[in-house]
Chains A and B, each alone.
Chain A
């Protein structure tokens, strides 16, 4: 790890004393970003799992880390959780260095790992109560079970739960400690559509409560549906970043305008590459309103119709496939 992690607004007058250490703890910024990552690298032997990741997650934000399998998503999340150490770079989570794995840090986070971790002989309620006992301000177990939709199964042993119910219990355990920040590593993988919808509602609900959420997924619709912002990771790097909408539109937000070719001269934009194919005219533009205006005026003057007019933006999926293809 490199030196000089930001630890908050420590008054520079107090130096090298116990007082400073105390002040540092007290001044962990509550308004700074929840997660700040700069130049993060992680190597497993000769494999570079993360190759210079920069990432910022604001408080209260739901960030989706999207990427194909093996992109480095889980490595990234496990470094942020404190499970693994970074090879290089600066990582600050809630004002802590997660690699120190301080208890005060672990009191503030909740984790749903990709693989399971449930005691088969404990009941649902026992699991929630036992695992939340170490948090200073845990949520009521009944409330937690109601939130995840397990209120009707408190006395069932976890071994007897269905796959979807087990996953919901995992989520219950992650939120039971009333954390400020929750890591969800592919929380809905293997869910049927109804269970996914339910989890989405729950996750959106947590976000409404002000919880910061970092979600990894390889489902585009999940990211599109839930996230305030999306980061696309491939080959250990962040290859794109933005809101689901802006990302869908790419770096230079381009819309595709297309209509049936009326076969006459049209006021088409000068700088656009116009394609005429299959009796249709199509061009891409970063200013669809500006470029459509002359066409609409032209049609209105002649009382004509631009048949089959569509204005489309590339979906997140188009962009994602394009991006991950390039990096592969």
Chain B
């Protein structure tokens, strides 16, 4: 694998710009990425205005519901943008013959797929930012300068890991029809046991143990802790970040080994070969 040339970086930028433009043109993906999580945010924060819940992370104590729920549902938006939309987007592109088209041009598949993942990460970050832009003035959510770097790094790493896992799932699904149910069945149950919709203080230990295997709870915990007053160490949850990174790397490995450029059975390993050659 050689270092990307400046013209390849220009190509990548061009494709990322196109990907963002396409995302904004697609009403379905804009809805699920931006409107849908925002709706949850407003609804649940409004309904639970006076409730106080157990704080996530080492600081302990109790926080206002919105202080817990805003970062949590932010991760819901992040997952929709980075995980679900990558699964649906890439498997649909494959069904539509777009991966085959790219494969027959000089555009390296790594750049094409990279533009998908980057576009997903950018839209996920934008969705979370939008939620905070609403929640800070409307629901009085506090953001702390001391934990902001940790919050941003957690969010970016989480987004990248989710996008990589989305790519892996898109690779394993044979068609787009298969991909959407797989995305929902893997994400939704996990979101309920990972503290996305409500705190896990009352949950049985075995359920928490199961949730801890998967990356979603670690993303939620690490991000939430940054919004609890008095969280030590600048909010860095190194253990959680390590689990998130390991899942992301595993996702990339599966995707590069099993990548297929056409629906059904394709040539496995083509992406790996393409990346090595590019």
A residues adjacent to B (C-beta < 8 A): 81-85, 101-103, 106-107, 109, 111, 113, 115-122, 126, 130-131, 133-136, 173, 177
Q: How far is the CB of B275 from chain A (nearest CB, A)?
A: 12
| Distance of A83 Cα from B102 Cα, bound (Å) | 11
Q: How far is the CB of A187 from chain B (nearest CB, A)?
A: 15
| Distance of A118 Cα from B100 Cα, bound (Å) | 11
| Distance of A134 Cα from B107 Cα, bound (Å) | 5
| Distance of A101 Cα from B108 Cα, bound (Å) | 11
Contact assessment for A130 and B14 in the assembled complex, using a CB-CB cutoff below 8 Å: yes
Is B101 positioned at the interface, with any CB of A under 8 Å from its CB? yes
Partner of B106, one of A103, A115, A116: A103
Contact assessment for A113 and B11 in the assembled complex, using a CB-CB cutoff below 8 Å: no
Q: How many A-B residue pairs have CB under 8 A?
A: 69
Please name all residues of chain A whose beta carbon is closer than 8 Å to the beta carbon of B15 when the two chains form the complex.
130
Please name all residues of chain A whose beta carbon is closer than 8 Å to the beta carbon of B103 when the two chains form the complex.
83, 101
Return the 9 tightest CB-CB contacts between A and B, nearest first: A117-B97, A117-B101, A134-B107, A111-B104, A134-B106, A107-B106, A106-B106, A121-B25, A103-B106
Please name all residues of chain B whose beta carbon is closer than 8 Å to the beta carbon of A133 when the two chains form the complex.
11, 14, 107
Please name all residues of chain B whose beta carbon is closer than 8 Å to the beta carbon of A116 when the two chains form the complex.
96-97
| Distance of A82 Cα from B105 Cα, bound (Å) | 11
Which residues of B80-115 have CB atoms within 8 Å of chain A's CB atoms? 96-98, 100-101, 103-108, 111
Contact assessment for B98 and A117 in the assembled complex, using a CB-CB cutoff below 8 Å: yes
Please name all residues of chain A whose beta carbon is closer than 8 Å to the beta carbon of B274 when the two chains form the complex.
101
Contact assessment for B106 and A113 in the assembled complex, using a CB-CB cutoff below 8 Å: no
Q: How far is the CB of A108 from chain B (nearest CB, A)?
A: 9
Is B22 positioned at the interface, with any CB of A under 8 Å from its CB? yes
Contact assessment for B22 and A83 in the assembled complex, using a CB-CB cutoff below 8 Å: no
Please name all residues of chain B whose beta carbon is closer than 8 Å to the beta carbon of A122 when the two chains form the complex.
18, 22
Please name all residues of chain A whose beta carbon is closer than 8 Å to the beta carbon of B278 when the two chains form the complex.
103
Given contacts A83-B103, A133-B11, A134-B105, contact A115 B18 (CB under 8 A): no
Contact assessment for A103 and B277 in the assembled complex, using a CB-CB cutoff below 8 Å: yes
Is B26 positioned at the interface, with any CB of A under 8 Å from its CB? yes
Contact assessment for B14 and A117 in the assembled complex, using a CB-CB cutoff below 8 Å: no
Contact assessment for B106 and A121 in the assembled complex, using a CB-CB cutoff below 8 Å: no
In the complex formed, the residue of B with least CB distance to A104 is B106
| Distance of A134 Cα from B13 Cα, bound (Å) | 12
Contact assessment for B106 and A131 in the assembled complex, using a CB-CB cutoff below 8 Å: no
| Distance of A127 Cα from B142 Cα, bound (Å) | 45
| Distance of A102 Cα from B108 Cα, bound (Å) | 10
In the complex formed, the residue of B with least CB distance to A157 is B25
| Distance of A106 Cα from B107 Cα, bound (Å) | 9
| Distance of A260 Cα from B137 Cα, bound (Å) | 101
Q: How far is the CB of A87 from chain B (nearest CB, A)?
A: 14
| Distance of A135 Cα from B201 Cα, bound (Å) | 57
Show 9 A/B contacts (Cβ-Cβ < 8 Å), sorted by A: A84-B267, A101-B273, A103-B278, A106-B104, A113-B104, A131-B105, A133-B107, A134-B106, A177-B105
Please name all residues of chain A whose beta carbon is closer than 8 Å to the beta carbon of B108 when the two chains form the complex.
103, 134
Q: How far is the CB of A255 from chain B (nearest CB, A)?
A: 44
| Distance of A101 Cα from B11 Cα, bound (Å) | 19
| Distance of A117 Cα from B95 Cα, bound (Å) | 9
Please name all residues of chain B whose beta carbon is closer than 8 Å to the beta carbon of A121 when the two chains form the complex.
22, 25-26
Given contacts A102-B277, A103-B278, A121-B25, contact A131 B18 (CB under 8 A): no
Partner of A119, one of B22, B105, B107, B111: B22
| Distance of A83 Cα from B260 Cα, bound (Å) | 12
Q: How far is the CB of B207 from chain A (nearest CB, A)?
A: 41
* Residue among B26, B103, B267, B278 with the highest chain A CB neighbour number at 10 A: B103
Contact assessment for A134 and B11 in the assembled complex, using a CB-CB cutoff below 8 Å: yes
Q: How far is the CB of A112 from chain B (nearest CB, A)?
A: 10
| Distance of A120 Cα from B93 Cα, bound (Å) | 10
In the complex formed, the residue of B with least CB distance to A120 is B96
In the complex formed, the residue of A with least CB distance to B15 is A130
Please name all residues of chain B whose beta carbon is closer than 8 Å to the beta carbon of A102 when the two chains form the complex.
277
Please name all residues of chain A whose beta carbon is closer than 8 Å to the beta carbon of B11 when the two chains form the complex.
133-134
| Distance of A192 Cα from B197 Cα, bound (Å) | 56
Please name all residues of chain B whose beta carbon is closer than 8 Å to the beta carbon of A84 when the two chains form the complex.
267
| Distance of A121 Cα from B20 Cα, bound (Å) | 12
| Distance of A103 Cα from B111 Cα, bound (Å) | 13
Given contacts A121-B26, A130-B14, contact A83 B96 (CB under 8 A): no
* Residue among A111, A115, A133 with the highest chain B CB neighbour number at 10 A: A133
Which residues of B16-54 have CB atoms within 8 Å of chain A's CB atoms? 18, 22, 25-26
Contact assessment for B96 and A117 in the assembled complex, using a CB-CB cutoff below 8 Å: yes
Please name all residues of chain B whose beta carbon is closer than 8 Å to the beta carbon of A103 when the two chains form the complex.
106, 108, 277-278
Q: How far is the CB of B119 from chain A (nearest CB, A)?
A: 13
| Distance of A130 Cα from B98 Cα, bound (Å) | 13
Please name all residues of chain A whose beta carbon is closer than 8 Å to the beta carbon of B107 when the two chains form the complex.
131, 133-134
In the complex formed, the residue of B with least CB distance to A131 is B105
| Distance of A134 Cα from B9 Cα, bound (Å) | 11
Please name all residues of chain B whose beta carbon is closer than 8 Å to the beta carbon of A85 when the two chains form the complex.
267
| Distance of A135 Cα from B106 Cα, bound (Å) | 6
Which residues of B122-177 have CB atoms within 8 Å of chain A's CB atoms? none
In the complex formed, the residue of A with least CB distance to B92 is A120
Partner of A173, one of B26, B101, B273: B101
